[in-house]
Amino acid sequence: MYSRFEETPPLLSEQEGQARPSGQSERIDDYLDHVSAGLLALPYPQRAEIRRELRQHIAALAAAHEEMGSTPKAAVEAALSRFGDPARIARGFVQAWHVSSPRERMATPWLAIRHGLRWFSGAMALLALEVIGLMHAFSGPSEGLFLVSLWILPIIAGWKTGAAAPIRAGLGTFYALAALAFASLPISLPALLYLGSGANQLTALLTPVFAFWMPLGCLSASLSGTLSGKRAARFRRV
Amino acid sequence: MGHSQRELLKGSTPSLILAVLADAPRHGYGIAREIERRSGAALKLGEGSLYPALYALEREGLVSGNWETPARGGPARKVYTITEDGRAELARRTRDWQSFAASINRVLGGDEPDVQPI
């Protein structure tokens, strides 16, 4: 049910954005800016969707007032007066957000890190199984599994992290690094304790993680973060 | 609309939205106009309370919203549809409201309890 909110609303057509004379359009934008300012507790895609929906409704109300003979300026003012105090609307949304689904109350950075953590931990577990199997020679090395755990999973993990942190492109990389650091804790902590005692399985496991995953995961996170950031920028004028 | 009516309306907004959506899917503008039409313009639900209420209903899974492009062209609109949970909630709210209204009537009206429509 809630996954729908993570979907990106469809893009605004150019025609829709230019539907009203610029003065009135600015007045509506100004009003929506005041609503949006109170919605910072909500994730960005939801803020963008709310803004887009309110704008359409205001434009439709204003058009109805114009049809009844109002001037464009008076029509927009009449429409906005039906919506009332922007801060009050924003409070209504934020209240609804806090009342329902506590799972989604997490701040965006934690959502991003959680996405990354889920995938990096999966990859870490797979790699650990593979390396331990290799060390104990109870199963032969599987090239396919290595390909997946060394190359494909860190790319997916980075991509997911970056996409969940769409506000600024660079943050995707930072969150991916944080998720990677968290995910590798169960292995890197013992490895640090063993440091200096010569080569062992743990350091063998950590080498590919830091040699491959960091650059791959970060590259992928910054790429998907940049793409999401660009898409978000196109919504800013919705 | 007096102050007491506004207060009553505030608490009933989710019920009104669910009732209007029970017939047909509508977008926000359509919901506001339909509530006005059905109440003979007596209930003017401010758009400022409509959208937060819709948002809450959507988050609770009682309505679902989808962006749809109208067949006659024009920009995509977010169209809300009532869910099965929403219908159950509407039935519950209608029952509660009727029993509440009946109780209030008995106290205010005093003499004629349980008047059934002919």
pTM of the model: 0.55
C-alpha separations of A164 from A142, A167, A177, A182 in Å = 32, 9, 14, 17
The rounded radius of gyration (Å) of the Cα atoms in chain B is 16
**Tens-binned pLDDT, residue by residue, of chain A (238 aa):** 334 444 444 444 334 444 556 677 889 999 999 999 998 888 888 899 999 999 999 998 999 999 988 899 999 999 999 999 999 999 989 888 776 554 444 556 777 788 888 888 888 888 777 777 766 665 555 667 777 777 788 888 888 887 776 555 566 777 778 888 777 777 767 666 665 555 566 666 677 677 778 888 888 888 887 776 666 555 443 3
Q: Across the interface, do B78 and A53 touch by the CB < 8 Å criterion?
A: yes
Burial class of residue A19 (count of CB atoms within 10 Å of its CB; 0-12, 13-18, 19+): middle
Return d(Cα A34, Cα B45) in angstroms, integer.
Answer: 21
- Cβ neighbours of A1 in B, within 8 Å: 61, 64
Residue B10 — pLDDT band, cuts 50, 70, 90? low
pLDDT 10s digits, A1-48: 334 444 444 444 334 444 556 677 889 999 999 999 998 888 888 899
B85 has a chain A CB within 8 A of its CB: no
CA angle A170, A107, A40 (to 5 degrees): 90
The contacts of residue A203 (CB under 8 Å, 6+ apart) are A191, A194
Q: Across the interface, do B59 and A100 touch by the CB < 8 Å criterion?
A: yes
Q: Across the interface, do A89 and B48 touch by the CB < 8 Å criterion?
A: yes
pLDDT of B7 strictly over 50: yes
Residues A217, A157 contacting (CB under 8 angstroms): yes
Return d(Cα A160, Cα A39) in angstroms, integer.
Answer: 24
Residue B28 — pLDDT band, cuts 50, 70, 90? very high
Amino acid at B106: R
Rounded to a whole number of angstroms, the distance from the CA of A43 to the nearest CA of chain B is 14
A99 has a chain B CB within 8 A of its CB: yes
Checking ipTM against 0.90, whether it exceeds it is no
Domain ranges in chain B? 3-109
C-alpha separations of A193 from A96, A124, A147, A188, B73 in Å = 48, 19, 29, 9, 66
Partner-chain residue, chosen from A16, A57, A96, that has the shortest CB–CB distance to B55: A96
Q: Across the interface, do B56 and A100 touch by the CB < 8 Å criterion?
A: yes
- Cβ neighbours of B55 in A, within 8 Å: 50, 92-93, 96-97
Partner-chain residue, chosen from A1, A82, A99, that has the shortest CB–CB distance to B46: A82
Partner-chain residue, chosen from B27, B47, B76, that has the shortest CB–CB distance to A83: B47
From chain B residues 96-115, the ones with a CB under 8 A of any chain A CB are: none
Mean pLDDT, chain B, rounded, equals: 84
CATH topology of domain B3-109: Arc Repressor Mutant, subunit A (1.10.10)
Considering only residues A77 and B3, tell me which one the structure prediction assigns the higher pLDDT. Answer: A77
